[in-house]
Chain A
C-alpha cells in the first residue's frame, strides 16, 4: 500500500492534503509507545501508591506539580486568543483560534490527568467541591480548572462535529452550528475563569507565610504572584501558540497561517512580556528588600545554596524575560521568522523556569535554623508520567490536525512558499 494512499479518506475534509494513513501511523507509533510506558508508570503509582516516586516529606511537590503549572501557563494561549478574537474583535487571529483551543484542551486535560495520579486519594477528589475552603488558593484552582475544562470541551466539540463524517448526521450539524454561534459567551466565561485560576496558581505560592522564599505581600487577599502569574501566562500563551503552529508547519510541510498572524502574535507577546518583566523586577526588589527581611531572612540567603545561585534570578528576568521581549518588540527581528521563533522559545522557557523555581526551590531551601538544603531527582515513574502527558498531547493534536479543520486558511495558503525558495506541491 503506497505510503500516500489514504484509507481514512472519508474522514478527511475535501480539498486538504494529508499524508498517507500508513505514514501517519508511523508518525504516531513512537508517541503511542511513550503513551503506553506512561500509562504503565501511572498504573504503578495508582496501584502501589506514591512511594513509587522519589517525592518525600520535604519535597511534597515534585516534577508533576511543575508540569501542571507549566502546561497550564502555556495553555493560556487558548483563553487569551479567544478573548482577543471574540471580545477584542481581533478577527485576524481566527486563523489560529481552533489550534489554540485544541492546545488549551490538551494542556488542561493533561494537567487534570497528572493531578489525578499525583493526588494520594483520587477517589476523594470531589471533596474539594463538597467542603470547599475558600481561603485556599487550591480550592479556587480546582473549581476554575474543572469549569474551564468543561468550557474548553464545549469549544472543542464544534470542531469535532465539523469532521466530514460526523457532519453528515443532521443533529450534529445543527448542534455544531448553534454552539458555534454561542462561542463568544463561552469565550467570555473562559476568560473570567482563566484570569482567576492562572492567578490562583501563582497565589498558591504567594500565600505561603511559612516559606519566606515564596511569600509575597499583595493587594488584599491576592499576593503579587497572583497577578504575575496571570501576566506571564497571557504573555507566553501567544508565543507558545506561534511556536507550536510553526512546529506543525515544519512537520507537515504546509503553510498553515499567514505571516501577518505570526507578526501579530509576536507583537502581543512582546508587549505583555515587557510589562511582565517590569512588574516582576519591581516585585523582586520589594520582596528582597522589604518582605523577606521582615521575617528574618536576609536577601542573599535565598541564593546561597547548592546550584540555586543569583544566576537563576538573572536568567529568569534577563535572559528569558528581557531578551525575548526586546526581540519581539523590535520590528526587524520580529519580521524574521527565525528570530521570532527563538524569542518565543525563550519566553516559554522563562515561564517554565519561573514555575520550576517556585515549585522546587521553595521546598529545597531551609526554613528552620537547623534545616539543611535538600535536593530531589524525579525517578523513572515520574518522568514516564510526564511523557504520558506529552504523548497524549501530541497524539490528540495529530489526530485533530488530520481529521478536523484546525486551520481555516490552510486551503488558500496551499502551495504558498513556507521556506525561502521551496515551493510545496502538497505531500
Chain B
C-alpha cells in the first residue's frame, strides 16, 4: 500500500449503550472460526478475543450500578508490549493500518506475550479446534483456522479489510471505502455502541468520539498508547480507567 498514507484504525465503545447482549462476542467467534468451547473449557481457558465483562460499582440494592465493558485488544502503539516481547516476530504493529497482527503460523506458543499484555486480550489455543461433524462447512473462508498450541487475538477482522481492498482494487480505486471495512463486532452491535474507523482521518467519527471529554482509555498511564477508547457519562465508569481509584466489585 505504497500509495496509501498510513492509517491508524481504532475504536470508541460507548459503555452507556452496551446492554451486554453478547452479539459482538458471538459474531467475533463466528467470523474468526473459533470452535465451540471444549467440554472442559472454562471462562479462563476459552477463546474470547472480544470479551464483555460485567462490572458493578460495588453498591447494593437501589444504589447498585452495573456496566458492561467489552474488552478486546487495544492495538497499543507505543512500545506495544506483545510486539516487543515476541521472540520470533510473530506479532507486528502493521505500519499501514496500525493493527497489531498476530501470525499463528509463526507463533510457537511460548505465551510470553500473554504475560506482557495488561488487558489479558491474548488467548491460547489450549485444545485443537473441534466442530461437530459437518459443521466445518460453516467455517468462514476469509479466515484461517488456527491449530492448538498458538496464541491468538483480535486483529480488527483484517479478513474484512482484505475484502474491502479487493473490492477497491476491482473498482480501480486506490484506497478502500471506509464503510466497506467494519469488524464483525462493530457490525453486530445493535445499539451501535462501537464506532470504528481511522484515527488519522480528522473527518472520521471515531476521531471525534475519541476526543470527546467523557471518553477515556483503560490503563492509559502505562504508556502503551492503546487505540480503543471508551465513553461513559457516568463518573464511576470513567473511574474504571485507572487502577486503585475506588473499590470495585466484578461480576
Contact = CB atoms under 8 A, between A and B. Distances in A.
Touching chains A and B, CB distance < 8 Å = yes
Interface of A: 49-51, 56-58, 60-61, 118-122, 124-125, 127-128, 130-133, 135-139, 142, 204, 207-212, 294-298, 301, 362-363, 366-372, 374
A131 B85 contact: no
Nearest to A214: B115
A208 B87 contact: no
A51 B95 CA distance: 35
Interface string B67-78: 001010000000
B115 A369 contact: no
A366 B242 CA distance: 12
Contacts of B150: 120-121
Nearest to A129: B88
Contacts of B159: none
Interface string B121-144: 011111110000000000000000
Interface in B217-247: 218-219, 221-224, 239-245
B221 A296 contact: yes
B158 interface: no
A209 B79 contact: yes
A133 B128 CA distance: 27
B123 A57 contact: yes
Interface residues of B, number: 60
Contacts of B222: 209-210, 212, 295
B55 interface: yes
B58 to A, nearest CB: 11
Given A208-B81, A370-B53, A57 B69 contact: no
B38 interface: yes
B223 A368 contact: no
Nearest to B218: A368
B45 A56 contact: yes
Q: Which 10 A-B pairs have the closest CB atoms?
A: A120-B109, A120-B149, A210-B118, A60-B111, A60-B114, A56-B44, A138-B87, A370-B55, A51-B126, A124-B108
Contact of B44 (A57, A127, A295): A57
B89 interface: yes
Given A208-B81, A208-B115, A369-B242, A120 B108 contact: yes
A158 to B, nearest CB: 33
A58 B120 contact: yes
B124 A209 contact: no
A311 to B, nearest CB: 22
Contacts of A367: 118-120, 219, 243
